[in-house]
Amino acid sequence: MTNGKLQIIPLGGLGEFGMNCMALRWQDDIVVIDAGLMFPESELLGVDIVVPDITYLIENKEHVRGILLTHGHEDHIGGLPWILSELNVPVYGTEFTLAYVEGKLEEHKMLDETELIEMMPGGRFTLGPFTIEPIRVTHSLVDCVALAIETPVGVVVHTGDFKIDLSPPDGKAFDLHKFAEYGKRGVLLLLQDSTNVDRQGYTPSEWSVKPRLDEIFSRTKKKLFFSCFSSSIYRMRIAMDLAFHHGRKVAVIGRSMVESSEIAQDLGYLDIPNGLLIHPGQIADHAPENVMVLISGTQGEPMSALSRAAVDNHKHARIAPGDTVLLSSRVIPGNEKSIYRVIDHLYRRDAHVIFDDGHAGLIHVSGHASQEEQRLMINLLRPKFFIPVHGDYRHLKKHAEIAQSMGVVDLAMVIEDGDVVELTRDDIRKTGTVTAGRVCIDSGSTADVVEDLVIRDRRHLSEDGFVIPILTINKLTGMVERQPEVISRGFVGGDPELIETARQVVARTLEESSAEEKADYGVIKEKIRIDLKRYIQKNTSRRPLIMPVILEI
């Protein structure tokens, strides 16, 4: 079929951030690297996640030997339930990555029928004509690997997400020696993470946040709310060490934060001293200066623990005047509005808020390599050919230019999702394309696939119609000026009695919401949508499109 040529076929992650998925093919054998998702832009109404179009893999399902995972972030493992519903193949990952995968597959009731195989850095294994060696790399998550794949035409190295951290908090350093060994033996192709190609210099070590965080801990007089990505195990470890050192008990709040910390404890990445952790219900039993709350919601997600705490709507997390809230994370582009909205709420509570404001000293470091580390990796491996991965087109283009300008690689090539690249020992060229693109999935279910947004919306409206709750809110007072109205069109079961009860559901949601929540349209719309969706589904088994409208007066 390929007559002695190796094919590289990206299906996601080249031309966008997220949705990372790449196929390597030699004749009748295919291995897939990563199976990620992407969170939708705001214009994709009603879509919860976006996954790669795997038509090519489905068409060749009898040739797919397995899925290799570089690490456990959503943009690398989040598409697995969807992909595995079409392809029943083994999944290979490190111990920590597979712990995340297990939780995800259990949620989708797919764990029992999926074969999960642990791979260890340095432990070589064979899949068809491919011999794979995972190599330890460092990132913002633990237990991450690059993949060195020996193929009949030469070695292909896929870095996964990485930065070069020689002293990470878990002591498992980036394996420079192994990369240098491969460089001496000869590398045909390097596929390298492009995320931070715009940043010059080096990305600091995870430890570099500790001095500034230590200073914040020592200055904080009341409760300290510490928020970071729930997958930032290193950051959680540093925060817990500092809490112990400063005599603070730790309460963990937020589902994702609780799950991650439990997995990290089970696998030995978090060594928590006896008596340090308290139940969230015990926060009030301790003096404020003796408590740290590790809380999820660093991106301002409307129903996250921090967003709810910021408007006094959390059972245990109460933010009082003088408390400190530390957001130890970066602002992901597109989330600025929701993050600053939460920060506004926190300031209204007279909390002291610390976020990435350019202050001297770091409260967050990236998990991705900057330009000098990217150059170092290229110099270590000295690949014949180079293809940048993970990023928008401008990142890929700039990365290829940097690699080419170093005089190490013969050819740096920019490719995008769906391109087919063929390699021999001496040549690399684009030879065609396969079907690639995005598949939109509604409500996180593997069943509700949206082939095309327009078709999906038309089908959704034609089957279940739509329901529009209309609220009139006074912007200054946050008061509801008149009774909410509920309008439905094309909604089967929209009899007057049901609509009247739906109106009461909306009214009750409003009554149970604080003035501040009502002034925060993102939160109030989401609360109304969830409550109304639950009521309508329960009483009619229908799923109309629910679009709350707020009239501001």
Q: Which of 158, 345, 352, 368 is catalytic?
A: 368
H or E element that contains 193: strand 189-193
73 is an annotated ligand-binding site residue: yes
H or E element that contains 145: strand 144-151
**Residue 459, helix vs strand vs coil:** helix
CA distance 317 to 288: 12
76 is an annotated ligand-binding site residue: yes
165 is an annotated ligand-binding site residue: no
28 is an annotated ligand-binding site residue: no
266 is an annotated ligand-binding site residue: no
Q: Which string of DSSP letters, residue by residue, matches 54-67?
A: -HHHHHTGGGEEEE
522 is an annotated ligand-binding site residue: no
What angle in degrees, to the nearest 10, is found between the helix axes of 176-185 and 371-381?
Answer: 40
CB distance 234 to 170 below 8 Å: yes
Q: Residues with Cβ < 8 Å from 420, sequence gap 6 or more?
A: 7, 8, 9, 430, 431, 432, 433, 434
352 is an annotated ligand-binding site residue: no
Residue carrying structure tokens 């919601």: 297
> Smallest Cα–Cα separation from 355: which of 363, 365, 366?
363
- Listed in sequence order, the DSSP H helices in 87-167 are 95-107
154 is an annotated ligand-binding site residue: no
Q: Residue 487 gets which letter from DSSP? A: E
367 is an annotated ligand-binding site residue: yes
Strand partners, 157: 148, 190
279 assigned to active site: no
CB atoms near residue 437 (< 10 Å)? 12
CA distance 106 to 235: 27
Which tokens go with 169?
């908090």
CB distance 148 to 137 below 8 Å: no
CB distance 252 to 258 below 8 Å: yes
Which tokens go with 78?
């989040």
> Smallest Cα–Cα separation from 250: which of 240, 238, 263, 242?
240
Q: Is the dihedral of CA 6, 7, 10, 11 positive or negative?
A: negative
**Residue 261, helix vs strand vs coil:** helix
CA distance 22 to 393: 16
CB distance 421 to 8 below 8 Å: yes
Q: Which of 34, 193, 323, 417 is catalytic?
A: 193
Which tokens go with 18?
């997220």
245 is an annotated ligand-binding site residue: no
108 is an annotated ligand-binding site residue: no
CB atoms near residue 62 (< 10 Å)? 8
CA distance 58 to 337: 39
What angle in degrees, to the nearest 10, is found between the helix axes of 95-107 and 255-266?
Answer: 140
246 assigned to active site: no
368 is an annotated ligand-binding site residue: yes
CA 65 to chain centroid = 26
| Active site (catalytic) residues | 193, 368
Q: Which residues are annotated as a binding site for Zn(2+)?
A: 71, 73, 75-76, 139, 161, 390
Q: Which residues are annotated as a binding site for Ca(2+)?
A: 46, 48, 442
